Structure 1
Amino acid sequence: MEAQTTEYATEPVPDDSTVAWFRVAMVAAMVSFSLPTFLTGLELSAVTSPRETANILLAGSLILTVLGSLTAAIGSSTRLSSYMLNRIAFGSKGAAIVNLAFAVSLLGWFGVNIDLFSGAAVRLAMDLFGYELPVWLVELFAGLIMTVTTFYGFRAINMLSALLVPVLMVVTVMLISGSLAEVSLADLLAREGESAISFGDGVSSVVGAIIVGAVILPDITRFIRHWRGAVYTIVISYLVVNLTVMAAGAIAGAALGDSDLLNIMIILGIGWAAFAVVILGSWVLNSLNLYSTMLSVESTAPGLNYHVLIMVSGALGTFAAFFNILDVFLSFLFYLSIVFVPVAGVIAVDYLLMRRSAYHEARVDMECEYRGTALASWAVGACVALAGDLGLVTLSGMAAVDAMLIAALAYYLICKILARRGPAPIKQGN
């Protein structure tokens, strides 16, 4: 099998390279079966009551489904990567700022997942086999295999996901059934308890767990033939699979009174399933993180060599694993939601209401270096959400929702005001 070198980082995916939507749905679903998704539900169950956890997970999944459907459909309709969409919305140089932020975040996620992978693998090897693995060696191995997979592009990730999704579906069902054998669902929901975090912060954490993936969905949905298929993909992956996986983690944590997912699986007698989640889930998720990082950098600096870019990004992501950010995991997710949701809000309004032709037939003619309206709207959305976190202003109570809506509204209003002064500012890049 030869490494894929044409990933259409700076051009639309041609018709003969598109695939059926269900194949892309396998990739999106595989991301939901990853260890961080299980841990998000587990973390929430430790700080909220079972009924409150259920409400938070449902609300967060609904928000993700709406947001993801918008970004996925735009990706499928334009056949462009998220980074090319950023280039159109924010300008070529303005997008460089946005894409750099994405690349740094994705490499950070790469490091987080290798950190999770290595810690879990070392722990499982000791608990199940009595063998102590060197952490650094596990991290290097994980970084290497994930980097090699990325060499073969989206199709390799797609094939791997199709093989592994059924395995992790079985693991999730076993985790839920084993947990409910300890305590029934009715008894769990009947439990009372005080929540250590607000409903809004909980929803923002759920959204933050997936938000980077939701914003960069065009990277994979651009391979789908029709936008309706992109929406089907998101409903299955976010409203069904992602919600189920987070709920599995929450049910397991509440039923067994343990905040350690590996402990829970070992207690339930499914230690092998822990290995499956840790190895298989992390493998696909991080390969996709690295793939999107590559698209981000290549779309910003298209002259760079594809293979060298992947090797350098993989090395940097592996190095990032040595910086432990797991201690502030929920806070990390929360601030990610604040920073990245406004980007999706701006692009959605720009495409759906303001300048659709700029993403299709007039793409080259309407290019510019900076689009101040988009950059300013992104900043406004993030600042409003941060102000809400500091208690200075309260809107919906959910920072992720505030960031998206305010950025979208600010962009729409600014564009309308400028349009009254004449068409030139809108067309030339304002």
Structure 2
Amino acid sequence: MSDHENQYCTSKVAPKDFVSGWVVALIIASTGLSVSTLFLGSEIALALGFEKALIAFGVSTLVLTLMCMATTLIGNRSRLSTYMILHFSFGEKGAKIVNFIFGVTLVGWFAVALELLAIAIFDTTISTFAIEIPKSLIIIVTSLFITITTVYGIRSIEKVANISIPILTAFLGYVFYLSLEKLESPWQLFDYVPAENSMTLFEATSILVGASILFPVLMADFSRFIKTDKQSLGAVLGLTIGTPLAYILSAAPSIQTGEVDIIKIMEQYHMVIPAFLLLFISTWSTNATNLYSASLTFTTIHKKWTFKKVTIVSSIFGTLLAMLGFATYLFDFLEFLGIFAPSISSIYFIHFFWVKNQQYHLDEIRPWEATALISWGLSSVICIFTYLEVFQLTGAYFIDSFLLGGLFYLIPNRKKIFNKKP
């Protein structure tokens, strides 16, 4: 099988397969317009009120954007997937540990999106057609569409994103307009006060960072295909603009209706069928991205595993998780990511730019890189304590993770970094 057909799982992307930055920006933006993202925007707006929710949306987006700007350049300059990049900083065997965790995490996201969409479709068919379709059947059929798309790689995902993003954005914008039209003034949104304080601003921000924390780590999977540095930085706008826009477009209708379920919201606007179709398309695009990254991860664990076979197996596993109700653990799952993922970004950022001077050669990968593994382990243990509020550092455990991972890795590598000959 050629590198192209195997999505360059273990090799550098060839120039013939480079794409423009806007293509990747659309793919990234499509992940923001998913059922799970709209659900988060609604939940946080109803829990905090619109004003505090906007602060949470803004702070989380700023943190993630800054991290993505660093890691997108690594992918663009190395032309390698995230999982091959991790081979350099963590070693071939060490990277398998990290990659396995990422792979399982991405399959978990795949399962959550499948389950939330199945719930939405289930509610739609009952309320609109008085027909009850088993959720397990909905999950299986939806998973099949997504898997077929993913098997054909990034070009296939791009085509779905090109269709879904403009249409879904326009639709959500129209619903946002209708929700404002029912208010005497748009400023009434800011007057909403939650019935009970079920969530703090910090908790909301942490959940939002956790929801997208894999973006900085996995940005290289997509930026490795982009033609230039400048375009790869521009692709980050898919997250910077797309994700908070999705949160806001879902927050206003939820405050106006008091509902979190997007289908129930649409019922009040008499647009259940259009909402159902668009949510299906958006989840198709988003989950193809999740499955694509998960499959890339697992192919680096065992080089004889082909991309297509791994995609199918990962899809089956994610489908089973969805059928078992994995979405119940969504918020705990997101907070878990905020502990373990940020430090990996800072470690491989330092390794690429300062330890290796932006030069990665596949024949230089070693079996183990103990420094990176120890740094990751130490930062993760400390962040578990800051998450549990045994003690505090910056006050935000996901920032603790990023800074501590980088600091612990920087100290033993200081001579390599600072004593280089000009």
Normalising by structure 2, we get a TM-score of 0.93
Q: Which amino acid aligns with 2:380?
A: A
State the one-letter code of the partner of 1:274.
Answer: A
Q: Distance in 1 between matches of 2:362 and 2:292?
A: 25
Could you tell me which of 407, 413, 416 is aligned with 2:414?
416
For structure 1, which segment, 254-263 or 160-169, has the greater mean C-alpha deviation from structure 2 after superposition? 254-263
- Following TM superposition, by how much is the alpha carbon of 1:277 offset from its aligned partner in structure 2, in angstroms? 3.9
The reply on whether 1:377 has 2:379 as its aligned counterpart is: no
**1:356 CA displacement:** 2.6
Contact map agreement 2:42 2:260 (CA 8 A) in 1:
yes
SS at match of 2:317: helix
Contact 1:111 1:320 in 2 (8 A): yes
SS in 1 for 2:362: coil
Residue ranges of structure 1 left out of the alignment (5+ in a row)? 424-430
Give the letter aligned to residue 336 of structure 2.
Y
2:199 aligns with one of 197, 203, 206: 197
- Name the structure 2 match of 1:166: 166
- Displacement, 1:357? 4.3
For residue 207 of structure 1, what is the aligned residue in structure 2? 209
Assess if the C-alpha contact under 8 Å between 2:149 and 2:157 holds in 1. yes
1:232 partner letter: G
CA separation in 2, counterparts of 1:410 and 1:171?
A: 47
Contact 1:115/1:139 (CA < 8 Å) preserved in 2?
yes
In structure 2, what is the Cα distance between the partners aligned to 1:419 and 1:151? 41
Q: Counterparts of 2:362 and 2:260 in 1: how far apart (Å)?
A: 52
Q: Could you tell me how far apart the structure 2 residues matched to 1:380 and 1:178 are?
A: 50
1:297 has 2:298 as partner? yes
Q: Secondary structure at the match of 1:414?
A: coil
Contact 2:125 2:131 in 1 (8 A): yes
Deviates more, 1:256-265 or 1:12-21: 256-265
Correspondence for 1:427: none
4+ residue segments displaced more than 6 Å: 417-420
Matched residue, 1:187: 188
Match of 2:228 in 1: 226
Distance 1:409 1:266, change over 3 A: same
Change (3 A) 1:240 1:306: closer
Q: Is the 8 A contact 1:125 1:131 kept in 2?
A: yes
Question: % of aligned pairs identical?
Answer: 25
- Say which is worse superposed, 190-199 or 119-128, in terms of deviation: 190-199
* Aligned-residue offset at 1:147: 0.9
Q: Deviations over 1:176-227 (max 9, x none)?
A: 1122123333112134456433332211111111112332121111100112
Q: Pairwise mapping of residues 383-422 of structure 1 onto structure 2 (< 5 A)?
A: 383-416=381-414
Q: Distance in 1 between matches of 2:261 and 2:400?
A: 32
CA apart distance, 1:358: 4.4
**Do the aligned residues in 2 keep the contact of 1:151 with 1:307 (CA within 8 Å)?**
yes
2: CA distance, partners of 1:329 / 1:311: 24
Between Structure 1 and Structure 2, how many residues are aligned? 416
Say whether the 8 Å CA contact 1:34–1:277 is kept in structure 2.
no
Q: Retained in 2: the 8 A contact 1:90–1:374?
A: yes
Across the aligned residues of Structure 1 and Structure 2, the Cα RMSD in angstroms comes to 2.0
Gaps of 5+ in 2: none
Which amino acid is 2:208 matched to?
A: V
Distance 1:192 1:142 in 2: 37
